[in-house]
Every structure is written in structure tokens, then in C-alpha cells.
Structure 1
Amino acid sequence: MKDDRGIFTLDSDTIASNPGRVKVMPLVLMRYMYKPVFLLIALLASLVFALSISLIIGGVAFFILFFVNMIYWRRKKEQFAHGDSNGGIIISENPKLVAVTTDLTKGFAGSYPVVKVIPYRGKAKLNERIGTVSLYEGSESCSPHWKNFFPVPVEYVNNNKAELHAVLKSYSDESWQVLENRIKEIKKPYKEGLFKIFNENSQW
């Protein structure tokens, strides 16, 4: 069901504390994500098949793939406009890794701080700050916290310097300090994964 924010593909019952408000640039996104490229190739292939071999079979495939492409791009648009935006810090050059923190609480009980370490393919160097936008993975309805979250660097979908700077400006100095402190809780050498933070009065 459509909510008053025009959301169709995301959970409309939750609202990010700091929505991304990032505009998705398709050509930028396709440099970092291969799925939309494959979807586009499949769409064009179905069109060629319809025009040269079988109009019925190819036509059906084309309309299905057209719908899949539309849903994919709608979801990406909503993800980066309404997803939860958090700052990240490049913590390793070899391999290139970025750390992002959040609280997985659903907002009605306790605090469940975590740090997510993910591979990074952008231009930022060691210790530099970047913006990210995350979606959260659901859990049992009775659970007070989300199961996981999946941050994506905003530069993977937008290369406008002014917009990227605006994202960084949306993070408070306190949030950067929290991230830096939580990174210190992670053992070296750094590796990919979700790491629970057991200090700061967490309920883990």
C-alpha cells in the first residue's frame, strides 16, 4: 500500500531517523552494481527475440522483464531517498574496507549497537569519511531489534560533489565520535561482518 511518502517497495511502517535523500543516477549505479546491467541486457535480448524469432514468447518475456526493471529502479530510488543514512570511515586499504555503525533497536526497547564492515570500491582513502544509506533486515515481530543492516556508499549511486557533501553534513560530530569509538572495539586485522558492541549500556 502506498503511504504518504509515495513508498511502494519498502516497509512503509518504519521511518529512518536520517533519511538518505540521495538522488540515484542510473549510469553511476551501473558502474558499481552489475544486476541492473544484466536486467537491461536481458530486456534488450527479449526485444530482439520478439522481433526476430517469436513475437509471442519474446513479447511475454519483454513485458515481464520490463516490469522487473521498473520495480528494481523504483526500489533503488526509494532505498536512497528514504533509507537510513549513516556515516562510514575507511578503516583498511588492503583490502579496502569501510565501517558503518547503527543501533539495530526497533525503537521501543533497549539499545543494540553494531558496526558493519563491508568491502569498499570507491575513491576515498584510509581514515576518510563517506556517506552511506542502509536498509534493515527484519526479524521476528516479538524481537526488540533488527537482524542486520546493509549500508551502501552513496557514491555508488551519485557522483555529484555538492550532493555527496550535503550527505556528510547531515551527520553530527557526535555520530562520528560514536563511530570512531565503536571501531576501537573491533579486533584487528579488520574483516567483513556485523560486530555487536557490548559497551554503552547495550542490551546484547
Structure 2
Amino acid sequence: MKDNRGILTLDSDTVASNPGKVRVMPLVLMRYVHKPVFLLIALLSSLVFAFDVSLLWGGIFFCIFLVINFFYWRRKKEQFAYGDSNGGIVISEKPKLIAVATDLSKGFAGSYPVVKVLSYKGKGKLNERIGTVSLYEGSESCTPHWNDFFPVPLEYMNNNKAELNAVLNSYSEESWHILEDRLKQIELPYKEGLFKIFTENSSW
């Protein structure tokens, strides 16, 4: 089990069954996600403001945006290193959608299988398998399952084929079959959302 004591931005009390262990490449991320671009622009703008208008206020803004940038990138690094990694399948090209399966159980009671369908901006083709890393949305500590989970395709963060293939190889064939079987319960045409899967073994 990987030591989680150095985590700053995630809950270190929970451990993913299959952590992502993927490096975050900033330039790759900025191709798919706009927020880090805006944060970087704000940081540089505050520096220009400090030199051209007010050293005091510019310095204050620079320090604020420097801290925000630090925690943003630290969270991304920890998300993709320690977040839960699950396989996804491209299920639609118009619109581009992927499906990812997981169990929202917190591990101490019951089984709460779900499939998340979400929009996709990557290069994968229909029926192609991709890797994702998810964070889970909290709930009351006494409840046996999480409220939701949020998968992010690995290619949004990393374009190293060897690393991406290593993650794909960490998924069992059984996990792919489970996802394919769960998709049969979802009504066509596919739409974005979280879908509970009802089976004789589920606790929903």
C-alpha cells in the first residue's frame, strides 16, 4: 500500500483499490482544461501589475495567485497519483461519450454498482478502451456509499503511451465484462449522468 501521509489536498483516510499512479503533464492538461491557463494568466498579470502600477497590490495579488496555482497543481498531482483508476469505453461518437463503472460502496457494507456516462474530448474511437482516474463525492460518514464519482480520462493529463498502456494493463478482463454488462441496463440513446445498476447482488 502506498504511503498517503504526504497528501495535502485529498482525504488521506481513504485508499483507492487501484490508484492511478500517473504523472501530470501541465502542457497536456492545458490542452483539455482551461482553468490552469486562466490561473497562469492571472499569476503573470499580477506580476506585470506589480511592476507597472503598484508594487504593493501587485505583490499581494501575485502571492495570492501563486498559492492558488500551487494548490491547484498539487491537487492534480495527487488526484492522478492516488485517485481510483477504472477503465472506460467510448460508447458514442455523436456526441462523444464514455462510460465508466465503479462501486460506490465505502467498503464496509453492501455493493452499490453504478455507471457514469460523461462527455469526452479525447482521441478514442467508438468502443475503444481508455483509462480514467476518479475522485468520489462525499456523503455522511454513517452512510455505506459515496454520492457520486467523477472520472477523468488519463489522456487529459498524460500523453505518454507507455504510461497509459501500463494503466490499461492494470484492469482485469473481468472489469471490462462488468462494464459491458452494466451498459445493457442503460437506455439508448446514451445520455450523460450517473446510473444505478440493479442486480440481485446490489444493495440499492
Tell me the TM-score normalized by structure 2: 0.98
2:85 corresponding residue in structure 1: 85
- 1:201 Cα deviation after fit: 1.1
1:172 corresponding residue in structure 2: 172
Partners of 2:148 and 2:115 in 1: how far apart? 10
Residues matched between the structures, number? 202
1:131 corresponding residue in structure 2: 131
Pairs within 5 Å for 1:1-204: 4-204=4-204
- 1:141 Cα deviation after fit: 1.1
SS at structure 1 position matched to 2:121: coil
Partners of 1:5 and 1:29 in 2: how far apart? 26
- 1:4 Cα deviation after fit: 4.3
CA 4–100 in structure 1, closer or farther in 2 if over 3 Å, else same: closer
Q: Which runs of 5+ in 2 are unaligned?
A: none
CA 90–29 in structure 1, closer or farther in 2 if over 3 Å, else same: same
Partners of 2:142 and 2:82 in 1: how far apart? 24
Partners of 1:180 and 1:200 in 2: how far apart? 17
Counting aligned pairs with the same residue, the percent is: 76
SS at structure 1 position matched to 2:115: strand
SS at structure 1 position matched to 2:74: helix
**Per-residue deviation, residues 56-84 of structure 1 (Å, max 9, x unmatched):** 11100000000000000000000000000
Q: Which runs of 5+ in 1 are unaligned?
A: none
**Per-residue deviation, residues 164-201 of structure 1 (Å, max 9, x unmatched):** 10010000000000000001110000000000001151
SS at structure 2 position matched to 1:170: coil
SS at structure 2 position matched to 1:175: helix
Partners of 1:66 and 1:136 in 2: how far apart? 27
Tell me the TM-score normalized by structure 1: 0.98
Partners of 2:199 and 2:47 in 1: how far apart? 56
**Per-residue deviation, residues 80-129 of structure 1 (Å, max 9, x unmatched):** 00000000000001000000000000000000000000100101100000
The amino acid of 2:42's aligned partner reads A
SS at structure 1 position matched to 2:195: strand
